[in-house]
Each structure stands twice: as structure tokens, then as C-alpha cells.
């Protein structure tokens, strides 16, 4: 294929869908970092946004508690802050301006006391002694507390999905618990394609720690840069052909940064992001295929053999410690010898008095009984919290229709970026534009590599000719 033809294909693909690739990379980077405060502090009036984006605000709520002794007393925790209602949800008032990830009342002899309440936030644990009206920082300041449970005067908190801290409620004495790694022979041997695709796309599917996230960041930044750089180069070339004045040195800098080994090395992580995104855009259509297609752990990335930085929930009942991660619930009596107790993503571990519940992600919700873990039929998908009302256990989910949540007149920047990323800001059919952008990205990389490779060979030949001249 002639270089001119390759250039034409590259140019058409970039002009047609380069802006979409930029948008996917730019928004994807920030969506992977939802702990950034500005994503929730910056808001846009609902009047300026479509209903599909406004409706997503409910997904920001991670915690929901109702005082079983006084159902008028409701606490709702979200990335936008913690809200309190004293009239059964008719009205709410924000009483804690922190990203709230979990709420737990004090437990006395397994009984919940809603006068003293604790909140896990992206800035540590906060305490309220008046039912949620006023708050003060209590422990783990400046740490992202993902989840926590209370037992026998102690808080067991998960920080950054990797560290467990035990905090004494009276003395505030804080100690980090040392957990031994889960033995490889206790980890499930197979992982579904559905789980693998989600882990890869959300920056947790390659290595333990933050490496997977940083690789995603690298890919997102390069993708954004290429989207901008392509347009800059195209319009600068047009100026040159029109014999208009341009900054030649700056133009050469754009050319060099647009095509180099750093860009070439981003091919694989960018392709992973783009094509896992295609699968996720059509998750409902491909759901059965992705769940039934399974891979043996021997052929999977290293993270599936070491889940030390994948702790989504933790519980202690006085005898057994339990860790919940993407592959299941693991039990130990000494924090060293772990055994698989229940397979399936443990998205949340929640306790009400003596009852322990697991919220599943792509796996059943379940409750621990004398006969082991029992699936909970008829419960909502991925419940984020559990509470008691009228003597019954209730599950709060973003899909719950009967839950009373705070009503606001603006939407955080995060949900606007999410709407841009998945296309819901524009149209329900926008996913096909994203699909086309993924294909265009592949074409751009292939044609770009051919151009880069041929130019390198041309330069080498020219250099060799000079030396032999």
C-alpha cells in the first residue's frame, strides 16, 4: 500500500472520530479517579441537562440508613455529602460536606443506636453524637475509607481497598492489622469474561496495587493527547499549503510528540480500553456470552493470583475475620490462614446486629446462616446498604424505587462526564458512535505505525547514504 493511501486513511479516520477518541480518553481518566473532590463540587443546573443524566444522580448514593425505632430519622450518604432527614424523607439537609461511602450507627450488645453515628468518607471516619446533625473527624484523617463495620466497641475499616485498621471507639487507639496473603490454592480457578472485561476497563485487571490504574491513566492521557494532536497537525498542514505563516518549530514538536515510541507503546493498553468499552456498551446483549465464557486463572494476569490490594469489605464477629474481594468471601480466625467460604464478587459486606449480608456484583446477594451462605432471592441488583424497617430487612440499591432520597436542582460534574463517556448525554444510540471510534482507533494506530516505521527506514537510508558519500 502506498504511503499516500495510508496517510489518507489515517487522516479520514482521525478527522471523523478523533474528537470522540479524545472525549473517551479525557472523561475516562477522571471517571477512574472518582475520589477527586472537584468532580462532585462542580455542579451544573438540571435545567441544562437531559433527564438521562439528571436521573444518574441517585447512583452517587452509597449509604442509606433508617432508624428502626424512629423511621422519620433517615441518613443518606453520597459522593455529594451526607444528608439528614427528620421527617421521613420529605426534606433533607446536608450536614456533612464530605464524600460519604458508608454509614454505621453505634452498636451496643448488637443493638443499633442511631444517636451516635459514624460515617466512612474519602477523608477519614467522622462521628456524630446527635443523630447526624453535627459531625467531627474521628479517625484516619486524609485516608479514603471504602467501608467499615462495628463490633464490640471496635471499628474495622477498609482503606484504599488494601489496608485494614482497627479503631477503639473509646480511646480512638488505631492499629493497622497485618493480613497474610490468601493462598493461591484457595482462590477460584476460573474467572468469567464478564469479570475480566470489567476489571481491565476499570483499571484493576492486570497487577496488584495501583499499577493497573496507572496503565489506564497512561492510555487515557495518550488517547486524549492524540485526539488533540491530530487536529493541530491537520490544520497546521492546511495553513502551510495555503502559504500562511506558521510556527515551524512548534509544528515539528507536535509531529515528534504525535509519533514516537512512547505513543507506539500505548497501543495495547489503549486497545484494551477501547474494546472492553465496546463489550460494556453492549453488556445486556452479550451478558450470557460473557458470563458463560470462562478462563482458567493460569492464563490470567497476575492480579488474579494476588488479591492483597483488592479488599472491598471486612468483618469480624468475635471469632472469624472475613475479607470480601472480587473472587469471593474468605474466612480466617487469625488473619493468616484463609479459606474460601463463598465464591462470587463480594461488593459489600454489611452487618445488622448478628446478621451478615453480602451484596454481589455479577454474583448473587447472600446471607450467612447456620447452613452457610444462602442466596437472597428477590433482592435488588448490587445493593449498597442494608437496614431494618417494620421488623424486616431492607436493601438499598440505586435501582430502588421506593427509597426517599434528597432532591437537588443540579448535577455533579462526574455524572456529566459519565454521560459524555457512555453517550447518554447525547442519545441512547450513541454507543454505536463509540463502537466506530474504537474501530477508528485501531485503524489510526495501524496506519500511524506504518507511517512511523517507513519514515524511520527512510531516515536510516538517508543517514547511511550520507556516511558512504
Quick one: 175 and 82 in the same domain? yes
Quick one: 175 and 203 in the same domain? no
Quick one: 267 and 342 in the same domain? no
Domain that includes residue 234, residue range? 3-32+188-304+432-468
Quick one: 292 and 321 in the same domain? no
Whether 268 maps to a domain, the answer reads yes
Q: How many domains does the chain have?
A: 2
The C-alpha atoms of residue 250 and residue 293 are separated, in whole angstroms, by 49
Whether 37 maps to a domain, the answer reads no
Quick one: 220 and 169 in the same domain? no
Quick one: 229 and 280 in the same domain? yes
Whether 155 maps to a domain, the answer reads yes
Per the CB < 8 A criterion, the answer to whether 350 and 359 are in contact is yes
Q: Crossing angle for the helix pair 211-241 and 3-31, nearest 10 degrees?
A: 140
The torsion angles phi and psi of 48, rounded to 5 degrees, stand at -95, 0
Task: Name residues of the chain where pLDDT drops below 50.
Answer: none
User: Which three cell numbers mark 259?
Assistant: 509519533
Quick one: 383 and 439 in the same domain? no
Q: Taking the CB of residue 197, how many other CB atoms lie within 10 A of it? A: 22
Please name the helix (run of DSSP H) or strand (run of DSSP E) that holds residue 274, with its range, or none. helix 267-281
Confidence at residue 3, expressed as pLDDT on a 0 to 100 scale: 65
Q: CB burial class (10 A; 0-12, 13-18, 19+) of residue 298?
A: exposed
Whether 136 maps to a domain, the answer reads yes
Quick one: 393 and 298 in the same domain? no
Whether 43 maps to a domain, the answer reads no
Kindly give, in sequence order, each residue whose CB lies less than 8 Å from that of residue 128, ignoring residues fewer than 6 positions away. Answer: 95, 96, 116, 117, 118, 119, 134, 135, 136
Smallest CA-to-CA distance from 124 within 161, 170, 77, 158 is with: 158
Quick one: 321 and 300 in the same domain? no
Smallest CA-to-CA distance from 364 within 385, 384, 378, 350 is with: 378
User: Which three cell numbers mark 428?
Assistant: 441512547
Confidence at residue 427, expressed as pLDDT on a 0 to 100 scale: 66
The C-alpha atoms of residue 363 and residue 27 are separated, in whole angstroms, by 28
List C-alpha distances in Å: 461 to 3, 322, 468: 17, 64, 11
Confidence at residue 9, expressed as pLDDT on a 0 to 100 scale: 86
Whether 325 maps to a domain, the answer reads yes
Quick one: 253 and 293 in the same domain? yes
Quick one: 92 and 238 in the same domain? no
Whether 443 maps to a domain, the answer reads yes
Q: What is the DSSP string of 109-140?
A: TTEEEEEEEEEEEBTEEEEESSSSSS-EEEE-
Confidence at residue 464, expressed as pLDDT on a 0 to 100 scale: 73
The C-alpha atoms of residue 80 and residue 92 are separated, in whole angstroms, by 13
- Report the CATH number at residue 152: 2.120.10.30
Strand order across the beta sheet in which 313-316 lies: 313-316, 321-325, 328-332, 339-343
Quick one: 109 and 21 in the same domain? no
Amino acid at each position: 500500500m502506498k504511503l499516500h493511501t495510508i496517510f489518507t486513511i489515517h487522516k479520514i479516520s482521525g478527522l471523523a472520530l478523533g474528537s470522540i477518541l479524545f472525549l473517551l480518553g479525557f472523561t475516562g481518566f477522571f471517571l477512574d479517579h472518582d475520589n477527586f473532590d472537584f468532580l462532585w463540587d462542580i455542579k451544573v443546573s438540571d435545567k441544562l441537562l437531559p433527564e438521562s443524566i439528571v436521573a444518574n444522580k441517585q447512583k452517587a448514593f452509597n449509604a442509606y440508613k433508617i432508624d428502626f425505632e424512629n423511621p422519620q430519622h433517615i441518613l443518606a450518604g453520597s459522593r455529594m455529602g451526607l444528608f439528614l432527614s427528620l421527617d421521613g424523607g420529605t426534606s433533607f439537609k446536608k450536614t456533612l460536606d464530605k464524600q460519604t461511602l458508608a454509614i454505621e450507627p453505634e452498636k451496643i450488645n448488637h443493638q443499633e443506636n442511631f444517636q451516635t453515628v459514624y460515617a466512612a468518607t474519602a477523608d477519614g471516619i467522622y462521628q456524630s453524637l446527635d443523630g447526624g446533625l453535627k459531625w467531627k473527624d474521628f479517625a484516619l484523617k486524609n485516608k479514603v475509607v471504602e467501608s467499615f463495620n462495628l463490633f464490640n466497641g471496635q471499628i474495622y475499616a477498609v482503606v484504599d481497598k488494601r489496608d485494614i485498621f482497627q479503631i477503639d471507639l473509646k480511646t480512638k487507639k488505631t492499629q493497622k492489622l497485618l493480613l497474610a496473603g490468601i493462598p493461591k490454592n484457595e482462590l477460584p480457578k476460573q474467572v468469567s469474561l464478564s469479570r475480566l472485561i470489567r476489571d481491565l476497563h476499570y483499571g484493576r485487571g492486570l497487577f496488584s496495587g495501583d499499577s493497573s490504574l496507572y496503565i489506564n491513566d497512561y492510555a487515557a492521557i495518550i488517547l486524549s493527547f492524540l485526539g488533540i494532536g491530530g487536529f493541530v497537525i491537520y490544520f497546521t498542514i492546511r495553513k502551510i499549503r495555503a502559504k500562511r505563516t506558521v510556527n515551524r518549530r512548534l509544528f515539528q514538536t507536535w509531529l515528534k510528540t504525535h509519533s514516537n515510541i512512547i505513543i507506539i507503546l500505548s497501543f495495547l493498553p489503549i486497545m484494551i480500553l477501547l474494546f472492553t468499552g465496546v463489550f460494556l456498551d453492549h453488556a445486556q446483549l452479550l451478558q450470557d456470552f460473557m458470563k458463560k465464557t470462562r478462563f482458567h486463572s493460569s492464563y490470567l494476569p497476575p492480579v488474579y493470583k494476588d488479591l492483597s490490594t483488592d479488599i472491598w469489605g471486612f468483618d469480624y464477629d468475635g471469632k472469624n475475620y472475613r475479607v470480601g474481594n472480587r473472587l469471593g468471601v474468605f474466612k480466617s480466625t487469625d488473619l493468616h490462614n484463609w479459606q474460601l467460604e463463598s465464591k462470587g464478587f463480594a461488593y459489600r459486606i454489611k452487618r445488622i446486629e448478628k446478621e451478615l449480608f453480602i451484596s454481589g456484583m455479577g454474583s448473587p446477594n447472600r446471607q450467612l446462616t447456620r447452613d452457610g451462605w444462602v442466596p437472597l432471592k428477590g433482592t435488588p441488583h448490587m445493593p449498597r446498604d442494608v437496614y431494618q424497617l417494620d421488623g424486616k430487612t431492607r436493601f438499598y440499591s440505586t435501582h430502588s424505587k421506593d427509597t426517599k432520597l434528597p432532591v437537588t436542582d443540579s448535577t455533579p460534574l462526574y455524572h456529566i462526564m459519565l454521560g459524555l463517556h457512555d453517550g447518554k448525554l447525547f442519545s441512547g444510540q450513541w454507543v454505536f458512535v463509540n463502537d466506530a471510534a474504537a474501530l477508528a482507533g485501531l485503524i489510526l494506530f495501524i496506519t500511524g505505525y506504518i507511517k512511523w516505521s517507513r519514515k524511520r527506514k527512510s531516515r536510516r537510508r538517508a543517514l547511511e547514504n550520507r556516511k558512504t558519500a
